[in-house]
A and B are shown apart, each in its own frame.
Chain A
């Protein structure tokens, strides 16, 4: 229990950052869980460093919660191992793993006061009474809950209850704190506020957190690294920046940034670049080098913010600005690409209000006609509706996936 005895009053709660602030806090190897024929988690592996904030991001049914539950010990994996601080906990009961858990439904003990709730895990660990009193007080103060110790959970608002739950999970300084959509039951404003609080506390105390959410914005705000999950698999486990700029799959590119997808074929390889001939415009697009043979069908993905407007002759394609919406610092524009078959150029139906369409389905209509590219360009030199423009992209900003991807 030595780690609880440490007390350096300068820091928010009870002293120094966790002892193991270097090295692995948690590792998961080839974790697999099936329910009958359905594979809930498929060979998930990852290593999480101490002090890291990791988010499992995915739609419902992607396996993110199941993975978290297996780490917590609430459900048992079919195979694979889970190691916490070098200790194999795969088959241990939840109470023997010394982890913290924050639930979406708070799950405060209704028969205990706020103070008793937070003191509970410390009592379990045989921390002396005085020490408990001090640490509970500190923790509640840090969460802005001083003066609430004597209240019952049901007398608190949802946000306050979740703060208490957070206090309860971190007061005993577990090496890893697991959070299962902890802000899912709160309204938007409160959610934003608590995100900041959670992040602040995590950084201040150097907590290792595994966080589950389906909200990509939340994941981007909070995380050091995000595991994007899909169909029980970890699609990509990377920093938000990497995920955003170097998505390994079209799914990740789409899930995080709502990228523009364009089909094409590899035209030729150079030392540094790969050239792609786009199907629709017939233009050539330069990307980072990928080892792909000429003629292979590929999909390129570019985030809206990474496309630029340029003189028509300079771009990898040309098009007509259909919409241009001023949204503060940027202009969101929809550009209809000129097709190789120019006769179809003007036959596009305009029934869809692409201006309000934030671009989620940009490029989705590849097969039906000329795609609409979504751009976010600095407001100053924004394009005008009806203008014919060229579109450029830095090769580094273009991602390339083999095959007919997109969706």
Chain B
């Protein structure tokens, strides 16, 4: 890495002057224009909207609104549910991906299909499916009651448990696909190598396998956290009012009240939260790296 960086300092000026660079910029123009039109402009207009009062004057009261009372607690709920979803989809996704990566191609494809299928089922059918599965008179509770588990039936729907079950199921295809890819990329012979020098299963997992798939775990966790932040259909289906998500508030404001400014403010907050999540993961991973460097 040091070797590649060494030659850099003198280059930028020469780079700009070169014909190839100028042509490169020309080629990049459509992409830049595309990004400007589809991302930068909407984001800026949303930002603008969020600090404009109804009469067009500047104000921060939409933010004040969004960060007080019910709205604030909805915000916290959103963060909490997104974090829980990321955690569970990561753990379950890891187990599933690990199992699938050991299967032969055909069963693996089949297993993957089963994981992905919920995505192609309409929300309505899914709702019904979940009621059949998790309701008081649903399969799970009937089974638990049949087995004489104390406390059954459990309330598995219309509370946070239900929401996390639902959002986790929706996230699984992403985490499983992502982790599966990473796991397939891990050279299994490395594990054999570790075993050859005396590492037991647990040590191999902790010291070799986990670090090798860690980048995938971070990506998958972050992805499901960010996706879950913007979720509201599944939380609405599977939860109660206590699981209202911020996206649901935005939807209500725009669709029911035609109130764009407040929605814009909440949208900006959601965006910032997403960035914060990205930053956090970056921070944690570079912190881990730094710790390793100093250790060695």
A and B touch in the complex (CB under 8 A): yes
What is A's interface to B at a CB cutoff of 8 Å? 72-74, 93-96, 98-101, 103, 105, 107, 109-113, 115-116, 120-121, 124-125, 149-150, 155, 168-169, 172, 174, 178
Q: A72-B196, A111-B214 are in contact. List 19 more A-B contacts (CB 8 A).
A: A73-B195, A94-B196, A95-B194, A95-B196, A95-B197, A98-B198, A100-B196, A103-B193, A107-B189, A107-B193, A109-B208, A110-B190, A111-B211, A113-B296, A121-B197, A124-B198, A124-B199, A150-B296, A168-B197
Query: Within 8 Å CB of B1, what residues of A?
Result: 155
| Shortest Cβ distance from residue B190 to the other chain A in the assembled complex, whole angstroms | 5
A124: which of B189, B203, B211 is its contact (CB, 8 Å)?
B203
A149: which of B203, B211, B296 is its contact (CB, 8 Å)?
B296
| Shortest Cβ distance from residue A70 to the other chain B in the assembled complex, whole angstroms | 13
A94 to B197, CA, bound (A): 8
Say whether chain A's binding surface is mostly helix, strand, loop, or mixed: loop
| Chain A CB within 8 A of B187 CB | yes
Contact indicator B193/A121 (Cβ below 8 Å) = no
| Chain A CB within 8 A of B200 CB | yes
Type the 1/0 row for B33-46, where 1 means its CB is closer than 8 Å to any CB of A.
00000000000000
Query: Within 8 Å CB of B296, what residues of A?
Result: 113, 115-116, 149-150
| Chain A CB within 8 A of B192 CB | yes
Type the 1/0 row for B88-106, where 1 means its CB is closer than 8 Å to any CB of A.
0000000000000000000
Across the A-B interface, give the 7 residue pairs with the lowest CB-CB distance, nearest first: A101-B196, A121-B197, A107-B193, A94-B195, A111-B211, A95-B195, A124-B198
| Chain A CB within 8 A of B116 CB | no
A297 to B242, CA, bound (A): 96
Query: Within 8 Å CB of A95, what residues of B?
Result: 194-200
Identify which of residues 194-242 in chain B touch chain A, using a CB-to-CB cut-off of 8 Å: 194-200, 203, 207-208, 211-212, 214
Contact indicator A172/B196 (Cβ below 8 Å) = no
A107 to B199, CA, bound (A): 15
Query: Within 8 Å CB of B200, what residues of A?
Result: 95
Contact indicator B212/A94 (Cβ below 8 Å) = no
A109-B208, A111-B211 given as contacts; is B195 within 8 A of A172 (CB)? no
A113-B296, A150-B296 given as contacts; is B190 within 8 A of A107 (CB)? yes
B187: which of A72, A94, A107, A116 is its contact (CB, 8 Å)?
A107
Contact indicator B197/A100 (Cβ below 8 Å) = yes
Query: Within 8 Å CB of A125, what residues of B?
Result: 198
Query: Within 8 Å CB of A121, what residues of B?
Result: 197-198
Type the 1/0 row for B271-296, where 1 means its CB is closer than 8 Å to any CB of A.
00000000000000000000000001
A74 to B196, CA, bound (A): 8
Residue of B nearest to A105 (CB): B189
A105-B189, A113-B296 given as contacts; is B212 within 8 A of A99 (CB)? no
Query: Within 8 Å CB of A111, what residues of B?
Result: 208, 211-212, 214
Type the 1/0 row for B173-187, where 1 means its CB is closer than 8 Å to any CB of A.
000000000000001
| Shortest Cβ distance from residue A196 to the other chain B in the assembled complex, whole angstroms | 25
| Shortest Cβ distance from residue B259 to the other chain A in the assembled complex, whole angstroms | 50
A107-B189, A110-B212, A113-B296 given as contacts; is B195 within 8 A of A124 (CB)? no
Query: Within 8 Å CB of B207, what residues of A?
Result: 120
14 interchain pairs, CB-CB under 8 A: A73-B195, A94-B196, A95-B197, A95-B199, A101-B193, A105-B189, A107-B187, A107-B189, A120-B194, A121-B197, A150-B296, A169-B197, A172-B197, A172-B198
A4 to B193, CA, bound (A): 21
Query: Within 8 Å CB of B193, what residues of A?
Result: 101, 103, 107, 109
A101 to B198, CA, bound (A): 10
Query: Within 8 Å CB of A116, what residues of B?
Result: 296
A101 to B187, CA, bound (A): 16
Query: Within 8 Å CB of B195, what residues of A?
Result: 73, 93-95
Residue of A nearest to B212 (CB): A111
Query: Within 8 Å CB of B214, what residues of A?
Result: 111
A72 to B195, CA, bound (A): 10
A178 to B196, CA, bound (A): 10
